[in-house]
Amino acid sequence: MRNEYSDAREEDADAASPDAEEEPSEGGESPAAIEKLAQALEQKIREAAEANDKYLRTYADFDNYRKRMQRDQVEFRKYANEQLALELLSVVDHLGLALRHAAEAGESNEGLRQGVEQVYKQFRDVLEKVGVKPFHAEGEPFDPAKHDAVTQVTTPDAPENTVVQVFQDGYLYHDKVLRHAKVGVSKKPAEAPEAECGAGSDDGE
């Protein structure tokens, strides 16, 4: 009986031993497999970082585009009537010319002068409401960004390159020059040669 019982236990042990040997492979991973998983994880982390970086760049580009489009729309609305305003300035010029002629004609045309003056003022008020207004030029240093020099005026009464005459008013459209002012610019008189002549006569004596 003892031998039969011992043999049975040995058979049970032999049958259980293969499962016992396989348990370590089922419960854990080999170092090579762990290293492979770590490399795969690092690769995925890099890919996620690259994707996030691309997303951030794309979002920044889109945001810049959106802001640029908003600025362009604001600029377009602001200066949409620029060409119309420029053409209307000729009407303002003619009204101003009519006022000067009416003033020269004297009191005989006083009623006409007052009517033209009223229209002229209303016209300029309307232009100013949409951002068109004249800028002062006379007495200012000549600025090619705002002034168009049509002549030079020799005068000792003003510094050189100063606007001393305005032939046509200049206008701004908001903060942009709509029309340059046509102006006369000062220049210094030529130096008189009297001093040299006087010096020569003194030397001869």
* Tens-level pLDDT at each residue, the chain (205 residues): 445 555 555 555 554 444 444 444 455 568 888 888 888 888 999 999 999 999 999 989 888 888 888 888 887 777 778 888 888 888 888 888 888 887 777 666 777 778 888 888 988 898 998 899 999 999 999 999 999 999 999 998 889 999 999 999 999 998 899 999 999 999 988 876 655 555 555 554 4
Pairs from 152-157 (Cβ < 8 Å, separation ≥ 24):
152/184, 152/185, 152/186, 152/187, 153/184, 153/185, 153/186, 153/187, 154/186, 154/187, 154/188, 154/189, 154/190, 155/186, 155/187, 155/189, 156/188, 156/189, 157/186
What is the location of CATH 2.30.22.10 in the chain?
133-190
How far apart CA 55 and CA 48 sit, in angstroms, is 10
CATH fold for the domain made of 133-190: Nucleotide Exchange Factor Grpe; Chain A, domain 2 (2.30.22)
Query: 129: closest CA among 85, 170, 98?
Result: 85
Is 0.75 surpassed by the pTM of this model?
Answer: no
How far apart CA 138 and CA 54 sit, in angstroms, is 58
